[in-house]
Amino acid sequence: MGKRKAKIIGVQLPETNGKRSSTPFNKSTWIAAADAISSDAAAKFSKKLDAEKKFRFGYIKYVTEHMRLCADPQDCLKAAQAGWDFVYQNMEYYRVEDGKAQTLAECLETPNADAAFETGVLEGTGELKTELSIPIGKKKINSWRCN
Residues spanned by the domain of 42? 10-112+124-145
Q: Is residue 49 part of a domain?
A: yes
Torsion of CA 17, 36, 30, 58, to 10 degrees: 120
pTM of the model: 0.75
User: Is 4 part of any domain?
Assistant: no
Read off the pLDDT of residues 95-118 as tens digits, 9 standing for 90 and up.
Answer: 888 889 999 999 888 877 776 667
Q: Is residue 44 part of a domain?
A: yes
Q: Give 15-48 pLDDT, tens digit per residue.
A: 888 888 899 999 999 999 999 999 999 999 999 9
Question: In the chain, how many domains are there?
Answer: 1
Judge whether 117 lies within some domain: no
24 inside domain:
yes
Per-residue pLDDT tens digits for 57-108: 888 889 889 999 999 999 999 999 999 999 999 999 998 888 899 999 998 8
In a domain, 3, yes or no: no
Residue 100 lies in a domain: yes
Residue 94 included in any domain: yes
**Bridge-based pairing state of the strands 102-103 and 92-94:** antiparallel
